[in-house]
Structure 1
Amino acid sequence: MNIGIIGLGLIGGSLALDLRSLGYQVLGVSRREQTCQTAIERGIVDAASVNLSLLAAADVVFICTPLDLIIPTIEQLIPHLSPSTIVTDVGSVKSPIVTDAVKIWPNFIGGHPMAGTAESGIDAAQSNLFVGKPYVLTPVENTTPETVKIVGEIVRSLQAKFYLCRPEEHDKAVAWISHLPVIISASLISACLSESDLNVLQLAQNLASSGFRDTSRVGGGNPELGVLMSTYNQEQLLRSLFSYRQTLDRLITQIQQGDWAALADTLQRTQQARPEFLASKDL
């Protein structure tokens, strides 16, 4: 099977590495000629080009671009595809992407591997990035069983944890566990910077250790990704943010009123609930 990958950064490059090692013929497309050369030299792909026409022979195409480029990329790709070619993506928001994509390419299925690192670019590509990590496919009513089967088999071959759900379910879920934490983490850093006493701010920066590192990590990520996530999943992100604000207000009230029993109850419940979100995952 020939697999095309558009966007040879961390996710696209890592997909290419693993799929090529599994015996697939991997064809890569990047906007930069240097990236194409690096991908070939490192053995990440069998062939690479800045021209989408390379993917005319592809049976399945993975679009690994930023969210705002997925639909324009599909539009540019269509003239080069066979009608039987399956197109999928790796974007972190599904409903708006899937809705638009199936209108212009019915043989599209949304996808989202929940894997990554703080690094980016072709040099960050690594083998086994998806092993044990969730990988979601989001078929809709008109998605054929054959499409689900073919892409599902590819996902399983990566040793990822394979899930199926509706696009809107996906977006609600990731709003809670991926998008909301980015905004909360960013607000934490921003709140710390509001300290008006420069000596105290400097001391806080000097004393910050593992707790601050863990809770602030995603808020210190790529700003472009955070804005795109918020733009494309605005409704569900706001839904989770409003709920979070209500929860935070309750905690503030408990502390203001010295209701330590209620605070202890809240912290006990969160202590018990956290493992359910992290079961079988790297901590």
Structure 2
Amino acid sequence: MKLFNKVAIVGTGLIGGSMALAIKKNGLAHRVIGVSRHKTTLIWARKSHAIDKGSQDLSIIKDADLVILATPVKTILNLADTILKFIKKDCIVTDVGSAKLEIVSKLGKIFPNYVGSHPLAGSEKSGIANASRGIFKNSLCILTPTKNTTPKALKKIKNLWKQLGAGVVFLSPDTHDRILSFVSHLPHVIAFSLIDTIPHKYLKFAAAGLKDTTRIALSDNRLWADIFLSNQRNILKSIESFQDKLSGIKSAINKRDEKTLIKILEKAKGKREILG
């Protein structure tokens, strides 16, 4: 079922490329157009049949009835005004940014048919070479509508994500950023910090536990620096919460308080079991 005539994806990396592949596989658009700063990315996207046509020039998005912004948060904010010059009045605009409040605050004022999206899917790997048409299947996508969001645009974007295989939930931008600071952003802060804490000469002794715990530290450093700064207030609060928990373990170890230590670890284990 065709939902759109022309879909333009700005940023054909892991998520943007995966969306392009999934949209084409599911026949959700007549044409899928890609925009990237890198010519090699566009060549790869064409060869992998993710897009029908690509360009480094934003003017290619003209006449699109859906524009998907799949770049880092700062780039989305910087490109918004330029994109407005090229799109038609009834074009629907969405993004896949990992921090929503700043994006929604700006884009919601610029684009009359804007709907914020954040698919909770991805990988520590990046780039179009790692894109997958099945990455959104059985995942969750958070939409962040506001009182100004048009029902038609919201319905279309919700349907898009459902067609891509994702479940959809609605959250306010502020609630989204607060929750994601704990379940996504903080784990990345910890993974980066943990691997950086370990002396280089000890790494040859690392087994599966350390590799599993720090896998996400392989993620794109520029992308995550951008996310950390975009959700600064909430991430600082989540870091403080983590420091409190770490201090509790440190105190129990320092006091050789086995009873308290076991209680802390047992509680943490129980919470982890909820995830399955």
Q: Same fold (TM over 0.5)?
A: yes
Q: Distance in 2 between matches of 1:132 and 1:79?
A: 36
Task: Map 1:167-186 to 2 at 5 A.
Answer: 167-186=173-192
Question: 1:19-42: CA deviations, max 9, x gaps?
Answer: 011111211112233332332232
Match of 1:153 in 2: 159
Task: Map 1:64-143 to 2 at 5 A.
Answer: 64-143=70-149
Q: In percent, how many aligned pairs have the same letter?
A: 34
- Per mean C-alpha deviation after superposition, the further-off stretch among 92-101 and 50-59 is 50-59
Letter paired with 2:232: Q
Residue pair 2:126, 2:220 contacting (<8 A) in 1 also: no
Match of 2:18 in 1: 14
Q: Distance in 1 between matches of 2:40 and 2:196?
A: 37
Letter paired with 1:15: M
Task: Map 1:230-269 to 2 at 5 A.
Answer: 230-269=228-267
Q: Distance in 2 between matches of 1:131 and 1:227?
A: 28
Q: Distance in 2 between matches of 1:150 and 1:268?
A: 45
Match of 2:204 in 1: 206
Q: CA deviation at 1:169?
A: 0.7
Letter paired with 1:158: L
Q: CA deviation at 1:75?
A: 1.2
Aligned length: 270
Residue pair 2:124, 2:217 contacting (<8 A) in 1 also: no
Letter paired with 1:12: G
Q: Which 4+ residue blocks in structure 1 deviate beyond 3 angstroms?
A: none
Q: Distance in 2 between matches of 1:181 and 1:205?
A: 20
Q: CA deviation at 1:77?
A: 1.0
SS at match of 1:15: helix
TM-score, structure 1 as length reference = 0.91
CA spacing shift, 1:219–1:124, aligned 2, 3 Å: closer
Q: CA deviation at 1:112?
A: 0.9
SS at match of 1:57: coil
- Per mean C-alpha deviation after superposition, the further-off stretch among 165-174 and 114-123 is 114-123
Question: 1:73-92: CA deviations, max 9, x gaps?
Answer: 22111111111111111111
Tell which has more relative contact order, 1 or 2 (C-alpha 8 A, sep 6+).
2
Letter paired with 2:214: S
RMSD: 1.5
Q: Distance in 1 between matches of 2:47 and 2:224?
A: 32
- Per mean C-alpha deviation after superposition, the further-off stretch among 98-107 and 88-97 is 98-107
SS at match of 1:20: helix
- 1:4 pairs, out of 1, 5, 8, with 8
TM-score, structure 2 as length reference = 0.93
Q: Distance in 1 between matches of 2:111 and 2:126?
A: 29
